[in-house]
Amino acid sequence: DAGITQSPRHKVTETGTPVTLRCHQTENHRYMYWYRQDPGHGLRLIHYSYGVKDTDKGEVSDGYSVSRSKTEDFLLTLESATSSQTSVYFCAISESQARNTEAFFGQGTRLTVV
């Protein structure tokens, strides 16, 4: 199994509070991604990183920010959590962005905003 650790695995937070989710990898892969999974929507890309301090927006980036200060860590921050951000969040990594490249996924973080 690819070495991807997400923390925390579960979190309940109140509306309006900041939340940071962490993704840690031991594979030294260049590319890292944050997705959210919601019923009826599959997985949607929030942000991704193509190197240290290099990030870009995905399909559903509003309300989220990311940072990558080290190759192994990719942080997702909800500056002011809302109930619509209740979801399961997955981190993924890939070695390259070639067409046949496999992405490896973490086990997910279940976030509930009350």
Partner 1 sequence: GNSVTQMEGPVTLSEEAFLTINCTYTATGYPSLFWYVQYPGEGLQLLLKATKADDKGSNKGFEATYRKETTSFHLEKGSVQVSDSAVYFCALINSGAGSYQLTFGKGTKLSVIP
Cβ 15 to partner 1 shortest distance, Å: 27
Output the CA torsion sign for 14, 15, 17, 20: positive
Question: Could you tell me if 91 and 105 are in contact, meaning their C-beta atoms sit under 8 angstroms apart?
Answer: yes
Q: What is the DSSP letter of 106?
A: -
Cβ 14 to partner 1 shortest distance, Å: 26
Nearer to partner 1 among residue 17 and residue 84 (C-beta): 84
Q: Is 82 helix (H, G, I), strand (E, B) or coil?
A: coil
Question: Could you tell me if 34 and 20 are in contact, meaning their C-beta atoms sit under 8 angstroms apart?
Answer: no
37-68 as b/e: b if 16+ CB within 10 A: eeeeeeeebbbbbeeeeebeebebbeebebeb
Cβ 11 to partner 1 shortest distance, Å: 16
Nearer to partner 1 among residue 7 and residue 80 (C-beta): 7
Nearer to partner 1 among residue 14 and residue 39 (C-beta): 39
Instruction: By CB under 8 A, name the binding residues for partner 1.
Output: 4, 33, 40-45, 48, 58, 90, 92, 97-108
Cβ 108 to partner 1 shortest distance, Å: 6
Nearer to partner 1 among residue 92 and residue 113 (C-beta): 92
